[in-house]
Amino acid sequence: MELVELNPYLWEIPRTGNMLVPGRIFADRQLMEKAREEKAMDQVMNVACLPGIVKASLAMPDIHWGYGFAIGGVAAFRMDGGVISPGGVGYDIACGVRLLKTNLPVPEIKDQLPALVHELSRMIPAGVGRGGNIRLKQKELDDLMTGGVSWAIKRGFGRSEDLESIEDGGCLEGANPDLVSARARQRGLDQPGTLGAGNHFAEVQIVEEVFDNEAADAFGVFKDQLCVMIHTGSRGLGHQICTEFVKTMGGAAARAGIDLPDRQLACAPIESPEGHNYYAAMACAVNFARCNRQVMTHLVRESFQNIFKSPSERLGLDLIYDLSHNVAKFEEHEVGGERMKLCVHRKGATRSFPAGHPDTPVRYRSVGQPVIVPGDMGTASYLLKGAPAAMTASFGSTCHGAGRVMGRRAAKRMIDGHELKQRLEAQGITVRAGSTRALAEEAPEAYKDVNKVVDICHHAGLSLRVAKLRPLGVIKG
């Protein structure tokens, strides 16, 4: 495979074979070698072969092997002749992150942190397949999937101002619950407000360092501040939707005469019945995921009230932002000097819209959209802001996290979960996990260095550093 170094943070795979556009990977030399070893670059090349793709098949520095598309993959397709692919979104549709701030300086409340982490672990249901205390009726699930976070707020799970700090105002338009199967519905009925397992977490953090004072002020962030980060998605409902449409799309691709380089890239023309149906079902899962995180936010606020004996409003427990990193969206971008509507797939990649962009929330439009990048539970996470260069370089996209370097099975073989828990607690990180075996899957050494990943995005102009957050307490499934 030929690789061309365009600059220290961007590499190109020139067009070859059936590729319609080049592949481009934002990485340094070390991360490029790792991507080559695990065949993720082959997936970048495969995506470049799909009909209607424009500009390039892209990958972020947290790239690693995924289903069809590499995780960290970004690709945009023309509406006319382009495709939409479940593999370009992922099984955990609209998996994403939200960051909550408080007005609490950590040095003043550090003695209460263990009790707070325990209360959060008591209030937030976590674990594989575990449901919560909300059991929806079918009509309520329909309303949730079409209304998004507004549904949750109307039922007392949050405040109306939360909507101003959620991507798309908390609701992706175009959802059609009639396209969600009975099996997918059944899996989602009791899962709003639940964490799940895998790499999902709720984390209590301290703002360790501020890099951009103007943006930090706009986001309401200050040094030594106590924050809470939530990372979860659409749970069983989204997984089932993806599973079913991967099967449907295989036939659709064949009927459309699309020669797939990989069966996992099953897709359909955007403007076909199958394309429309997938998008409408996917939008249901997007809205479900956002409601899931919204109900969890309500549980976080209740936990703080229980520990600090004060209303969450008085504690300043406000939402900075919520955004998804597994989604396909219709957006306008400039390609070759022409403004056009595209279907942008981001799989393990995050929107990064700059100051002045109409889709950047009004409250942040002067500095840029908040970008939230979780790391591993032993090091750090980052708050960044959208950058102008991302609009031309990556369809307004940046990384979504540290990115795995070790599979879950390998991590469980190599890492002792009990020892890991002791190690983290020796670092001052309180850990609550469903099992130490599951904890081992998410060990810090299973991930890339988030500092390096963020550094590459910053220097490549995809997103710019605002603040660094260090974990104090972790809740895992």
Report, as residue numbers or ranges, the catalytic residues: 400
Query: In angstroms, rounded to a whole number, what is the distance separating the alpha carbons of residues 465 and 132?
Result: 36
Give the up-direction half-sphere exposure of residue 422: CA atoms within 13 A in the CB hemisphere. 5
Q: Which amino acid is at 465?
A: R
**Closest by alpha carbon to 225, among 381, 385, 103, 384?**
103
Rounded-to-integer distance, Cα 364 and Cα 357, Å? 10
Both tokens of residue 96? 């994403």
CA angle 168, 170, 176 (to 5 degrees): 90
Q: CA torsion 422→425→429→432, rounded to 10°? A: 60
Burial class (CB in 10 A: 0-12, 13-18, 19+), 183: middle
The residues pairing with 205 across neighbouring beta strands, listed in sequence order, are: 227, 471
Helices assigned H by DSSP within 38-98: 40-47
**163: Cβ contacts below 8 Å, ≥ 6 apart:** 149, 150, 153, 169, 170
Which backbone phi and psi does 430 adopt, to 5 degrees? -75, 130
d(CA 343, CA 298): 33
Phi-psi region of 201 (alpha: psi -120 to 50; beta: other; left: phi over 0): beta
CA–CA distance, 475 with 477 (Å, rounded to integer)? 7
**Dist. CA 392–CA 290, nearest whole Å:** 28
Spatial CA neighbour of 264 closest among 92, 95, 85, 94:
85
Read out DSSP for 398-445? EE-S--BSS-HHHHHHH--HHHHHHHHHHTT-EEEES-HHHHHHT-GG
Other beta carbons less than 10 A from residue 323's beta carbon: 25
Closest CA to 27 of 62, 1, 57, 73: 62
